[in-house]
A and B are shown apart, each in its own frame.
Chain A
């Protein structure tokens, strides 16, 4: 009798998707997502857009923090750089949107070299604080470079038109976000199973041991920074287009923390975790609002007046509770449930 899911060759070990049911479910999910913009109302559609944009950003951070183990508290810095790169290129210099997206990836990637280089000698908490410093410095730089960025006034951004296809409507823009999110997901899954991804994980698990095995720490850490910043920058550009206005205020420091919260809640170092975490964190305030409104109308109004505060308190609470009771996140919980289901009534 087969007692588990065993891999018998290296090919199986690094397969993108290792079982036919997963293929099936992925296809069903993708079809559902393609149908969604035609079925959902505009309120629900806005959540779908935010989820898709946030998934892209969370997958970007996952490369750095989840795979390579470098904690970044400054990812909002890359997000805002990407958004500004797109806004400046497209709105100010009237470049085609594709050039804008390329710029939104490349400019943060270059910026990440600047922050990554001094970070190579740093570890853990010192690195976290350096990245935090970076996000504050980038805000000041943007505010000071008024000739390029309009300073505190911000830049208006239009929905793009690519190859004659207008992404002006919400449904069309959702498809754009979906396309980029799926591409990012495939890209990060492929990075994870490649030689580079395994080097990242080796650095995370024990960097001294990784170095002894011949992994060039500096090159791979910088590579993790660059890839992560590239993806995050593109997510930033999408977020800027979604807001239709790019300004420093649109990208508060809380987004960095939200991104880490997503990874922790989902399960650190797992692409599936980044997706699940995003869905939970984005929908959490809305779900709470629905629960509150079920109880009484009066509770509902008190929630709307203090909504922002209660929402951030919930973030904090969810982060703490997950770290305390389910440090492996939703993915860990899912693995536990699956194991219990398969092996019942045995314990393991």
Chain B
């Protein structure tokens, strides 16, 4: 029982990180109709920038957080402006392949700029241990779960009530009609890329805090795919919850079946789910006409 609860809690913690990155995927998909295959790499760059700030400027939590958020916004805006905007109006396949090319470039750039060795991110927080009913939990793990839940609520409210959120939904539903209604699609896209970069970046920083910072971190993006597919590519909230579900599944499979299963439990799960609902658990079914 103790073991099960331990697995569940650490599953929730890693699942919250997957959830954050999966929300990054969903925010971009919802407003631009693209899957951003460079999401894992963007997550990783933000984490590396946070690490650089903590070792060169100041280890203060607020300085690091502010610096990382600003860097993530800048990264999202630069990518949108110089890589994605020229592809506006091209077929989806072409645009998605561009994000794959971008992923390859960013991943190599990280190895080129920083080194290939793992580093620990230390901002003097997140390593303390809290005892919950006899089970030790790190504060960083609790913080990431809380952050995910807060962001889920904030994003729900954003899409439901704010004018910009409604505009984003309009662009996603039909960008031509949205343009005719006076919504600037490029501005909505820029906002989506910046927001997605920040949300996923938060996940990356939390990952670096709980585990290690290493060039293998881009795999977080691949791990978050099952989460966002499970939730439905167009469901931002579903993706966040999908992350938690994938985290728990992975940990249970790793704890009870074998460590090899831990790596692929998520992927195996999406294949099964997609056989039943090809558009994800919370996704919407497209109706196509010839």
Q: Which residues of A contact B (CB under 8 A)?
A: 71, 118, 121-126, 128-130, 132-134, 136-137, 140, 143-144, 206, 208-209, 212, 254, 257, 260-261, 264, 306, 308-313, 315-320, 323-324, 327
Q: Which one, B6-14, B168-176, B264-272, is touching chain A?
A: B264-272
Contacts A124-B93, A125-B35 known; 12 new A-B pairs at CB < 8 A: A121-B274, A126-B229, A126-B274, A140-B264, A257-B100, A261-B101, A310-B108, A316-B103, A316-B108, A320-B105, A323-B98, A324-B98
Q: Which residues of B contact A313 (CB under 8 A)?
A: 104-105, 108-109, 112
Whether, in the assembled complex, B284 has its beta carbon less than 8 Å from a beta carbon of chain A, the answer is no
- Which of B98, B109, B264, B274 contacts A320, CB < 8 Å? B98
Chosen A-B contacts, 13 in total, with CB atoms closer than 8 Å, are A122-B278, A129-B229, A134-B271, A206-B290, A257-B104, A260-B97, A260-B100, A309-B109, A310-B112, A311-B108, A313-B105, A315-B101, A320-B102
A128 to B92, CA, bound (A): 12
**Cβ-closest chain A residue relative to B290:** A208
A232 to B162, CA, bound (A): 50
If A118-B271, A327-B90, A327-B94 touch, does A132 touch B101 (CB 8 Å cutoff)?
no
Q: Which residues of A contact B92 (CB under 8 A)?
A: 124-125
Q: Which of B243-290 contact A (CB under 8 A)?
A: 258, 260-261, 263-264, 267-268, 270-271, 274-275, 278-279, 288, 290
A134 to B111, CA, bound (A): 27
**Cβ-closest chain B residue relative to A208:** B290
CB distance from B275 to the nearest CB of A (A): 5
A264 to B279, CA, bound (A): 27
A57 to B196, CA, bound (A): 36
CB distance from B279 to the nearest CB of A (A): 7
A133, A311, A324: which has the most chain B beta carbons within 10 Å?
A133
**Cβ-closest chain A residue relative to B86:** A324
Main secondary structure of the interface of B (DSSP, over half): helix
Q: Which residues of A contact B35 (CB under 8 A)?
A: 125, 128-129
Whether, in the assembled complex, B30 has its beta carbon less than 8 Å from a beta carbon of chain A, the answer is no
CB distance from B47 to the nearest CB of A (A): 19
**Cβ-closest chain A residue relative to B106:** A316
**Cβ-closest chain A residue relative to B280:** A126
Q: Which of B194-238 contact A (CB under 8 A)?
A: 222, 225-226, 229, 233
A254 and B104 contact, CB distance less than 8 A: yes
CB distance from B220 to the nearest CB of A (A): 14
**Cβ-closest chain B residue relative to A306:** B112
- Which of A129, A136, A309 contacts B264, CB < 8 Å? A136
Q: Which residues of A contact B278 (CB under 8 A)?
A: 121-123, 126
Q: Which of B105-140 contact A (CB under 8 A)?
A: 105-109, 111-112
A316 and B290 contact, CB distance less than 8 A: no
A288 to B107, CA, bound (A): 20
A125 and B94 contact, CB distance less than 8 A: no
Whether, in the assembled complex, B87 has its beta carbon less than 8 Å from a beta carbon of chain A, the answer is yes
Whether, in the assembled complex, B96 has its beta carbon less than 8 Å from a beta carbon of chain A, the answer is yes
A316 and B102 contact, CB distance less than 8 A: yes
A94 to B106, CA, bound (A): 44
CB distance from A218 to the nearest CB of B (A): 14
Whether, in the assembled complex, B83 has its beta carbon less than 8 Å from a beta carbon of chain A, the answer is yes
If A206-B290, A319-B100 touch, does A137 touch B109 (CB 8 Å cutoff)?
no
A42 to B104, CA, bound (A): 31
A122, A134, A136, A310: which has the most chain B beta carbons within 10 Å?
A136
**Cβ-closest chain B residue relative to A124:** B92
B105 and A316 contact, CB distance less than 8 A: yes
Q: Which of B35-94 contact A (CB under 8 A)?
A: 35, 83, 86-87, 90, 92-94
CB distance from A86 to the nearest CB of B (A): 24
B263 and A140 contact, CB distance less than 8 A: yes
A130 to B280, CA, bound (A): 12
